[in-house]
Structure formats: structure tokens, C-alpha cells
């Protein structure tokens, strides 16, 4: 058992403005615990009538200042936790801080650069690397990804669902067994045998998380996301299984509603916006007070799910993310205060060992046999599994006479034999179903129902058609607006500079030319690739297809608008950059692949030469009637050292190729995500345009063929063109 308090770390997000410095200082001189001092600016400090302190000091295990890299965060915070998970202990890392302080950046990573990847991808990489190295045990890894929003849990990894809102995802509920263990019903567990498979799952969850988020439900700031790696290990032949879970938690934004004014007690009387964080605080307070017997875990789903991580069987680490700017001073102080409380909580992690269920079954089978023998001894008759034909017949007769008996007091007596009791119920059920199936009223009833149903279905179709018509009209209006804007832009450009006239328009081409980079996916790797979880990959591509490449589903007009939107979108630069990097990596990988093949051929040749040389030497020995010279053959020595060199070269290149493969996969995921984001933003923009058109234009009366928008000859032409396009 390992007893340990929750480890707390602080990470300060880089500030844009340099003058924000001076708000805090980090003191790392004290040998054991570094401290962070937050200095209240004079103007703010004066406002606190009853609170004249000008600085606050907080101790942390370590404090990572603005320039800390993701690599350092992983090495110092996540790696030790991953190591204890590999040893069989549960682990949790959670990021806590106000919105935009860097929680997601720390836990998952940034969406632009490979070097920005956060704790989750790095931990996965580390764990799979370790599993590969250790051949003494059989390991199994599963992944789950849960989002909690408004006290409701959602499974982010269910591939059967096409999420467009959070509610589309399967709902997860918490169940508690009599031993107070928490079980999550409906949360899917996915096996991952390689780092790539696990990364794909992370991507799938993050994409669902992004798609499900709308401006109305700012899910990322209001919801908690828990990515869990479930690891089990077993020594070959042993019956004991070790299980450990690693929760990587991105909490909701911790901002509070401040009650300013009343006595200036800004820093003490603030209330959470997020109720479940309020319950988290209650749990933390209860745990940090000695002799508290009741801990209110059950108040919220998040505290129920993380029950073990807080004051239980787990090694837990908290990262307080801080955005130390003047306007965030109070939030930063409350984050640090929360961390100080958390640091008081003591956990007791134990090795989670279980007996293999197969062994358990064998033991239970033996016990059943013993009990049967005992029963036979007591009752004086040997019982078999099934009843005999005669016994069955006798029973059925009993049931029939029981049913036919008009006396309401009559009883069906079969004796204390569970086999007979079960058979009675089965037989009764059968009688009931038979009666239902052959019942007289069923068929005509359903016929009548079908006839009644015909009315509404035409009504519905009619409504649907009307909606489609409305959509098309909106579409045309949006396009006409865009066309006007484009025309105006072109005219402006013409007026403003005649020098620019000859210049081609910036990147008319789509940021995703066909076949590229998707076409690059068929990576010419000579490295052995492990089987991937095909269902996830298939789902991922179909998801992307739906969310990005929905060209077949989009009407032509909408496609056209999408192309223009895409061209002008700020992200297209990042996408372009990443595409360039990806291209580079691909050609690097291709070149490496070729060099590896070359090295492999060379190794083969060298081996051949050595064998030949050997045979020659032996032949020479025989012909000269001498034994093989005991002195080493210098030629063979040389060949051997060349072989060794070539092997080392091969190994180095192979490792590099493997690393490249992971990087390429990651970059592809980033790009895929960017595409989904673009599509989502386009959809939002499109919807907004459509509503604003509806508001601004007179009501559409489609059935009198009234034109719903003012028409210029140009727009009329465009409209008829579009309509004829759509009919094609």
C-alpha cells in the first residue's frame, strides 16, 4: 500500500502582454517546496476594504513558469503517475483552472504543432513503449472517454452514433454495487493494442466532443472530460490479474460568480458557476477536515466517478493552470487556494489484484457438486439436472387441473424442488403466449390502424417538401449575397491598385486537393505495421466524410459557398502549414523506407558473402589437407564488422521511421480535426445567414410563387442557373 497526499503542481500560461509581469513571482530557493507569490496590484488592493493583504503565497510541489514545454510537463508530472499505473496502482491527473488557463492544452495538447501534444498522447506513447519492452507479462489495454455535462454522462467513443449534439451520444449512468464500487453503465471500453489505435480513439472522442459543442452549450468550459486508460496485466500461467486505471481529467472552467461590493470580501464569498465543481469543493473540504465520517461523493456525477481518485485507492495529481493577468487575479488566487486544500487529502493506493475468473468457475463447479451430494444425502434421492419425461407429464397434468379448478383457493403443490417450480412457470408462460398469438382480435385491429396511419404520412411528406423548398430558397439568397460581396471585393481591388491586377487570387485551390493528403495515407512503410482497430478507423473516416467531405450530401450551391468560405478562413493557413510539414515527413519516411530496404539487402548480401567465404576456407583446408585455420580469417572479420555496422544503421533508421510514423499519424489527426472544425464553422455561419435572411425578408409564401427576395437581373440569372444545376 502506498500512502500519499495528492500532489499539486502549478502551471502558468504564457501571457501575451509583457507588462503583466510583476504580478507574481516564483520562489524556488526554499529547498523542498517552491512557492508562488501573487502580488495584488496597488489599485486592486486598495479596493479591498477589509482585506489589506497585498500578496498571497502558495506552496506547490513544483511550479512551471510560462516557458515550460509540454515535454517537461510530461516528464515531471505524468511520467511518474504512468509508472505507478504500470506497476498496478490507480492514477489520476486532473487539470483545474479558469476557462482559457490551459487545461485542455496541458491534458490533450494544442491543435497545431506536434510538439504541442499534451499529457494524453505522450502518456499513451510512453505506456505502449514500456509494454513492448516488458515481455514478462501479458498486458491488455482498454480506453474509455466520458464527458459529463449538466450532471449527465455521455460516451464520447460510441462509434454507432453520429453525434451532432451531445444528446445524440449514449447516456452514461452511475451504478453503485453493495460494496460501494462505482460502475458506469453504457460507457464503452475499447481495446487498443498499439499507440496508433489509442490515438485514434482519443481523436474520435475529441471530434465528438467538438461536434457536440454549440455556442448554446459551451460544453468545453462547462463540462468535464475523463479519458481513462484501463490496464491489466498477468504473468503467463498465473491466475492473478492486476488491474489499474489512469484517469486523465480536463475539468470544467473553475470561474466563479464574484460577489463584489459587500464588505469587499471578493476573495471569500465567490460562488461557482459550475455546480458540480461546487460539489467537488465540498468533497475536498470534507476530506481535508479530520474526523469527518460522511463525504458527500454522491452529490454529483463527477465526484461519484472520481471517488477513488479523491481520498481513496489512487495516486492523484492536480495541475493548477493559471492565467496570471491582472484581470484574472481573483480567479488565480481561488485556484491556488483550492489546490492548497487538495494538497491535504491523503490517499491510499493498493495493488488491485484479482483471481482469474476461469479459476473461480472451477472452484464454484466443485462447490456445486459437493452441495448436490449433500442434498442427495439429506433427501435420500439423487437429483439430476433435468426432470424425467414422466415427471414432466405429471407436472403438466397438475397445472391443467389447477387452471381448470374454479375454486379461487386452490393451490398448485409441487414440493420443494426448484426444477419443478421453474418448469411450472415456463409452462404457464408458454400457455399465455400461445393464447396471445392465436387470439382473435389482433389482425383486424392492426389493419384498421394501418389505414388510419395513411393520412398523417402524406401530411408529413408535404411538410418535408415544404421545408426543402424553403431551404433551397434560403440557399439561393445566401449565394446571391456572397456573389455580391465577391463582386464588390473584386471591384475594390480593381480600384485600389492597378498594380495588383495581374496577380492571381490567393490560393483558388481548395485547401484539401483531392487525394492529398488523404491520398498520402497509403504510407510506403517497410516497417511492420500492426493490425489497427479497423472499426474505429472506419468510423473515423466515415465521420470525417460526413463532417468534411459531405459533398454528395451538400447541394451544389452550398458546396460553392463552402469553397469560398474555406478559402477565406483563417485556419486554412494552419492547415496549409501542416500539410507542408506532413508532405516533408512523408518524403522523409519514403526516403527512410528506401534506405531501410537498401540496408536490409546489404545485410543479406554480407551474410551471403560470409557464408561463401567460410565455405571457401573449408574447401581450401580440405584440398590442402589441413584443418580449418584456427587463426581468424581477416577477410571474414572485416565482413562481420561491416555486417554489425549495417545492422546498427538498420536499427537506428528503423526506430526513426517508427517515430516518424507516430508523428505523421498525429499530424493527420490534427488536420482531420481542423477540417471538422472548418465544416462546423461553415455550418454555423450558413445557419446564421439563413436565419438572418428569414428575419429580413418578407414571409415566404411558396405556394403563390411569390419571390421571397428582391431580385436583380444578375441574381435571377444565378438562381435559374443554380436550380438547373440542382436538377442535374
Chain residues that interact with Mg ion, rule: CB under 5 A: 103-104, 220
Among ligand ADP, Mg ion, none, the one that 15 touches (CB under a kind-dependent 5 to 8 A) is none
CB of 344 to ligand ADP, least distance (A): 24
How far is CA 404 from each of CA 391, 399, 401, rounded to the nearest angstrom? 20, 9, 5
Residue 96 in contact with residue 251, Cβ under 8 Å? Answer: yes
How far is CA 36 from each of CA 10, 45, 69, 100, 340, rounded to the nearest angstrom? 9, 18, 19, 20, 12
Residue 22 DSSP one-character state: T
Bridge partners, residue 140, by sequence: 232
Q: How many CB atoms lie within 10 A of CB 218?
A: 14
Give 64 or 565: the residue with its C-beta nearer to ligand ADP: 64
Among Mg ion, ligand ADP, none, the one that 100 touches (CB under a kind-dependent 5 to 8 A) is ligand ADP
Cα 303 from Cα 151, distance rounded (Å) = 10
x-marked contacts with ligand ADP along 634-663 as a string, rule CB under 6 A = ------------------------------
Out of 9, 13, 224, 335, the residue judged to bind ligand ADP by CB under 6 A: 13
x-marked contacts with ligand ADP along 226-255 as a string, rule CB under 6 A = ---------------------------x--
Bridge partners, residue 598, by sequence: none
Cα 361 from Cα 355, distance rounded (Å) = 11
Out of 7, 92, 101, 578, the residue judged to bind ligand ADP by CB under 6 A: 101
Asked if 97 is part of the footprint of ligand ADP (rule: CB under 6 A), the reply reads yes
Give 101 or 303: the residue with its C-beta nearer to ligand ADP: 101
CB of 571 to ligand ADP, least distance (A): 13
**Residues contacting 450, CB < 8 A, separation 6+:** none
3-state secondary structure of 561: helix
Strands 224-234 and 353-355: unpaired
CB of 637 to ligand ADP, least distance (A): 54
Give 375 or 573: the residue with its C-beta nearer to ligand ADP: 573
3-state secondary structure of 671: helix
Cα 142 from Cα 230, distance rounded (Å) = 5
CB of 219 to Mg ion, least distance (A): 10
CB of 687 to ligand ADP, least distance (A): 24
CB of 343 to ligand ADP, least distance (A): 21
Among Mg ion, ligand ADP, none, the one that 574 touches (CB under a kind-dependent 5 to 8 A) is none
DSSP string, 318-366: EEEEE---GGGHHHHHHHHHHHHHHTT-EEEE---EEE-HHHHHHHHHH
How far is CA 577 from each of CA 319, 370, 581, 667, rounded to the nearest angstrom? 31, 72, 6, 11
Point out which span in 98-106, 222-230, 309-317, 509-517 binds ligand ADP (CB under 6 A): 98-106
Residue 594 DSSP one-character state: H
Asked if 122 is part of the footprint of ligand ADP (rule: CB under 6 A), the reply reads no
CB of 319 to Mg ion, least distance (A): 13
Asked if 80 is part of the footprint of ligand ADP (rule: CB under 6 A), the reply reads no
Give 322 or 536: the residue with its C-beta nearer to Mg ion: 322
Among ligand ADP, Mg ion, none, the one that 481 touches (CB under a kind-dependent 5 to 8 A) is none
CB of 97 to ligand ADP, least distance (A): 6
How far is CA 43 from each of CA 40, 326, 516, rounded to the nearest angstrom? 8, 10, 56
CB of 235 to ligand ADP, least distance (A): 40
Residue 420 in contact with residue 386, Cβ under 8 Å? Answer: no
Closest of 20, 182, 210, 51 to residue 670, by C-alpha: 210
Give 244 or 251: the residue with its C-beta nearer to Mg ion: 251
Cα 253 from Cα 322, distance rounded (Å) = 11
Strands 152-155 and 346-349: unpaired
Closest of 536, 535, 562 to residue 549, by C-alpha: 562
Asked if 586 is part of the footprint of ligand ADP (rule: CB under 6 A), the reply reads no
Residue 669 in contact with residue 199, Cβ under 8 Å? Answer: yes
Q: What are phi and psi of 305, to 5 degrees?
A: -65, -40
CB of 696 to ligand ADP, least distance (A): 35
Closest residue to Mg ion, Cβ-based? 104
CA 367 distance to own-chain centroid: 44
Give 9 or 650: the residue with its C-beta nearer to ligand ADP: 9
CB of 323 to ligand ADP, least distance (A): 8
Verify cis geometry, omega within 30 degrees of 0, for the bond prior to 517: yes
Among Mg ion, ligand ADP, none, the one that 110 touches (CB under a kind-dependent 5 to 8 A) is ligand ADP
Q: Classify each residue of 66-97 as buried b or exposed e, where b means 16 or more C-beta atoms within 10 Å of its C-beta.
A: eebebeebbeebbeebbebbbebbbbbbbbbb
Point out which span in 97-105, 169-177, 586-594, 690-698 binds ligand ADP (CB under 6 A): 97-105
Cα 728 from Cα 726, distance rounded (Å) = 5
Give 606 or 678: the residue with its C-beta nearer to ligand ADP: 678
Asked if 104 is part of the footprint of ligand ADP (rule: CB under 6 A), the reply reads yes
x-marked contacts with ligand ADP along 309-348 as a string, rule CB under 6 A = ------------x---------------------------
Point out which span in 96-104, 276-284, 373-381, 597-605 binds ligand ADP (CB under 6 A): 96-104
Asked if 149 is part of the footprint of ligand ADP (rule: CB under 6 A), the reply reads no
CB of 222 to Mg ion, least distance (A): 10
Among ligand ADP, Mg ion, none, the one that 205 touches (CB under a kind-dependent 5 to 8 A) is none
CB of 95 to ligand ADP, least distance (A): 7
Closest of 133, 124, 138 to residue 85, by C-alpha: 124
Asked if 74 is part of the footprint of ligand ADP (rule: CB under 6 A), the reply reads no
Asked if 92 is part of the footprint of ligand ADP (rule: CB under 6 A), the reply reads no
Asked if 110 is part of the footprint of ligand ADP (rule: CB under 6 A), the reply reads yes
Please name the helix (run of DSSP H) or strand (run of DSSP E) that holds residue 633, with its range, or none. Answer: none
Give 188 or 221: the residue with its C-beta nearer to ligand ADP: 221
Asked if 105 is part of the footprint of ligand ADP (rule: CB under 6 A), the reply reads yes
CB of 20 to ligand ADP, least distance (A): 15
Residue 117 DSSP one-character state: B
Binding residues for ligand ADP (CB under 6 A): 13-14, 97, 99-105, 110, 253, 321
Amino acid at each position: 500500500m502506498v500512502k500519499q497526499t495528492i500532489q499539486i503542481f502549478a502551471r502558468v500560461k504564457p501571457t501575451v502582454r509583457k507588462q503583466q509581469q510583476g504580478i507574481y513571482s516564483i520562489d524556488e530557493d526554499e529547498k523542498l517546496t517552491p512557492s508562488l507569490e501573487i502580488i495584488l496590484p496597488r489599485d486592486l488592493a486598495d479596493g479591498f476594504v477589509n482585506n489589506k493583504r497585498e500578496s498571497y503565497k502558495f506552496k506547490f510541489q513544483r511550479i512551471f513558469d510560462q516557458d515550460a514545454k509540454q515535454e517537461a510537463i510530461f516528464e515531471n508530472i505524468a511520467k511518474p503517475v504512468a509508472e505507478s499505473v504500470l506497476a498496478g496502482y490507480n492514477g489520476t491527473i486532473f487539470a483545474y483552472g479558469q476557462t482559457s488557463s490551459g487545461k485542455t492544452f496541458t491534458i490533450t495538447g494544442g491543435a497545431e504543432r506536434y510538439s504541442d501534444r499534451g499529457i494524453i498522447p505522450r502518456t499513451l506513447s510512453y505506456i505502449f513503449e514500456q509494454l513492448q519492452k516488458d515481455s514478462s507479462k501479458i498486458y491488455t489495454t482498454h480506453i474509455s472517454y466520458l464527458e459529463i455535462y449538466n450532471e449527465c454522462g455521455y460516451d464520447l467513443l460510441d462509434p454507432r452514433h453520429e453525434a451532432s449534439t451531445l444528446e445524440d451520444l449514449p447516456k452514461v449512468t452511475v451504478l453503485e454495487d453493495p460494496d460501494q464500487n462505482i460502475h458506469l453503465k453504457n460507457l464503452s471500453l475499447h481495446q487498443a493494442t498499439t499507440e496508433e489505435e489509442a490515438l485514434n480513439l482519443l481523436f474520435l472522442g475529441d471530434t465528438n466532443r467538438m461536434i457536440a459543442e454549440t455556442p448554446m452549450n459551451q460544453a468545453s468550459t462547462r463540462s468535464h472530460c475523463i479519458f481513462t486508460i484501463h490496464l491489466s496485466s498477468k504473468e503467463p500461467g498465473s491466475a492473478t490479474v492486476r488491474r489499474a486505471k489512469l484517469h486523465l481529467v480536463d475539468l470544467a472552467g473553475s470561474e466563479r460568480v464574484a460577489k463584489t461590493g459587500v464588505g469587499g470580501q471578493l476573495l471569500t464569498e465567490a460562488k461557482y458557476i459550475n455546480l458540480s465543481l461546487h460539489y467537488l469543493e465540498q468533497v475536498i473540504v470534507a476530506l481535508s477536515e479530520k474526523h469527518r465520517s460522511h463525504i458527500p461523493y454522491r452529490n454529483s456525477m463527477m465526484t461519484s466517478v472520481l471517488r477513488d481518485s479523491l481520498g481513496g485507492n489512487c495516486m492523484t495529481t492536480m495541475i493548477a493552470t493559471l492565467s496570471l493577468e491582472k484581470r484574472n487575479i481573483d480567479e488565480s488566487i481561488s485556484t491556488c487556494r483550492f489546490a492548497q486544500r487538495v494538497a491535504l487529502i491523503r490517499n491510499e493506493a493498493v495493488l488491485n489484484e484479482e483471481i482469474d475468473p476461469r479459476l473461480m468457475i472451477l472452484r464454484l463447479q466443485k462447490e456445486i457438486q459437493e452441495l448436490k451430494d449433500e442434498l442427495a444425502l439429506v433427501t435420500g434421492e439423487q437429483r439430476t439436472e433435468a426432470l424425467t419425461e414422466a415427471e414432466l407429464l405429471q407436472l403438466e397434468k397438475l397445472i391443467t387441473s389447477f387452471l381448470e379448478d374454479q375454486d379461487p383457493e386452490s393451490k398448485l403443490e409441487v414440493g420443494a424442488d426448484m426444477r419443478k417450480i421453474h418448469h411450472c412457470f415456463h409452462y404457464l408462460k408458454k400457455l399465455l403466449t400461445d393464447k396471445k398469438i392465436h387470439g382473435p382480435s389482433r389482425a383486424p385491429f392492426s389493419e384498421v390502424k394501418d389505414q388510419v396511419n395513411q393520412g398523417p404520412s402524406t401530411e408529413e411528406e408535404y411538410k418535408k417538401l415544404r421545408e426543402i423548398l424553403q431551404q433551397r430558397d434560403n440557399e439561393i439568397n445566401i449565394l446571391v449575397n456572397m456573389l455580391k460581396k465577391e463582386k464588390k471585393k473584386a471591384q475594390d481591388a480593381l480600384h485600389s491598385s492597378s498594380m495588383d491586377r495581374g496577380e492571381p487570387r490567393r490560393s483558388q485551390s481548395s485547401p484539401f486537393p483531392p487525394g492529398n493528403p488523404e491520398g498520402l495515407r497509403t504510407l510506403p512503410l517497410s516497417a511492420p505495421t500492426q493490425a489497427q482497430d479497423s472499426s474505429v478507423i472506419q468510423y473515423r473516416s466515415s465521420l470525417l466524410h460526413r463532417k468534411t467531405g459531405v459533398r454528395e450530401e451538400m447541394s451544389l450551391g452550398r458546396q460553392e459557398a463552402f469553397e469560398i468560405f474555406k478559402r477565406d478562413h483563417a485556419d486554412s493557413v494552419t492547415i496549409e502549414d501542416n500539410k507542408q510539414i506532413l508532405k516533408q515527413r512523408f518524403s522523409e519516411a519514403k526516403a527512410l523506407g528506401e534506405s531501410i530496404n537498401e540496408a536490409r539487402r546489404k545485410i543479406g548480401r554480407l551474410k551471403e558473402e560470409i557464408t561463401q567465404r567460410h565455405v571457401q576456407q573449408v574447401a581450401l583446408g580440405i584440398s590442402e589437407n589441413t584443418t580449418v585455420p584456427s587463426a581468424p580469417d581477416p577477410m571474414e572479420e572485416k565482413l562481420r564488422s561491416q555486417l554489425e555496422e549495417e545492422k546498427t544503421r538498420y536499427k537506428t533508421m528503423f526506430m526513426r521511421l517508427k517515430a516518424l510514423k507516430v508523428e505523421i499519424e498525429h499530424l493527420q489527426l490534427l488536420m482531420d480535426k481542423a477540417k471538422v472544425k472548418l465544416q462546423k464553422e461553415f455550418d454555423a455561419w450558413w445557419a446564421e445567414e439563413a436565419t438572418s435572411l428569414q428575419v429580413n425578408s418578407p414571409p415566404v409564401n411558396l405556394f403563390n410563387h411569390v419571390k421571397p427576395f428582391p431580385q436583380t437581373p444578375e441574381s435571377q440569372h444565378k438562381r435559374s442557373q443554380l436550380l438547373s444545376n440542382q436538377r442535374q
